[in-house]
Amino acid sequence: MRWNDVRIVSWNILHGGGSRVDDILATVEAYSPDIVCLQEFRHGKGGAKIEAGLGELGLDCVCAPPTDSARENSVLLASCFEFTSDTFPDGARKPARCIAADFAPSGDDLKLIAAHFPQKRAQLPYFEALLDLPGSWIKGNSLVIGDINCGIPFEDSETRSFYATHLFQEMLRRGWVDAWRARNPQAREFTWISNGKQNGYRYDHALATESLNDRISSIAYDHEVREDGRSDHSLIVVDID
């Protein structure tokens, strides 16, 4: 995998059907990503159309773990680069909420976890699995990206209601870098807004190792996709030189 302007897009698509699928594909196409991570992906006719559409965009290397029902949310990882993958963590219950991928080392290697963490106590095993990753992950070029459903209160939210902040902060202490926060230390942007009180939360993150963070040329949120109703989450775009 050659590091020549690699673009990674991550988005919780709140997958529906019909024209919604066309909106998803049009949004992905507009960003021309080399790697795309979709959360709340569902199989079935809509999911098959998304996979086919991504293939037409050149994102024809796909991992989309099966589910017992087409109504169950899962994750999808698609890329123009070949990769090996497995669900994460080992032994996690279906449907899969995370994919761990290792991209073929034709140049520099990349390890990536496409993540959609559950809420509150259910997310603890996922954080614990991240903290238990082999040292090769933190020493190399690695990225955890997606809807992590966590952050630091009043920096990444307008309330105190994150459940596993202590584990999120432990990842940062161990060398993971909140790539957006590192470039926007005083900013507050929210990727999900609660329906009731309209409180904002930055649930969607890109956590990079130091070596990979040094290669990130830009990282930004697209809030328009949330504000115009294409999803209830903002989208992340990460560019790597």
The per-residue pLDDT of the chain, averaged, comes to 93
pLDDT tens for each residue of 169-224? 999 999 999 999 999 999 999 999 998 899 999 999 999 999 999 999 999 999 99
234 domain-assigned: yes
Residue 226 reports pLDDT greater than 70: yes
Tell me what the mean pLDDT of segment 97-105 comes to: 88
Measured from the Cβ of residue 48, the count of other Cβ atoms closer than 10 Å reads 13
pLDDT tens by residue, 63-77: 999 999 988 999 999
Domain range for 100 is 6-240
1 domain-assigned: no
Mean pLDDT over 114-129 rounds to 96
Inside any domain, residue 59: yes
Note the pLDDT of residue 202.
97
Mean per-residue pLDDT for 17-34? 89
Count of domains in the chain? 1
74 is written with which tokens? Answer: 């899962």
Q: Is residue 165 part of a domain?
A: yes
Q: With a cut of 70, say whether residue 1 has pLDDT above it.
A: no
Whether the pLDDT of residue 108 is over 80: the answer is no
Indicate the burial class of 184 (C-beta count within 10 angstroms; 0-12, 13-18, 19 or more): middle
| pLDDT confidence of residue 210 | 97
In this prediction the pTM is: 0.95
Q: Tokens for 31?
A: 């960003």
What CATH number corresponds to the domain at position 18? 3.60.10.10
Does the residue 122 lie in any domain?
A: yes
Residue closest to 123 by CA, chosen among 142, 97, 154, 156: 97
Please answer whether residues 75 and 86 qualify as being in contact, where contact means their C-beta atoms are separated by less than 8 angstroms. no
What burial class does residue 105 get, using C-beta atoms within 10 Å of its C-beta: 0-12 exposed, 13-18 middle, 19+ buried?
exposed
In a domain, 207, yes or no: yes
Q: Which two tokens stand for residue 140?
A: 């190399």
**How much is the average pLDDT of 38-52?**
95
Residue 19 clears pLDDT 90, i.e. is over it: no
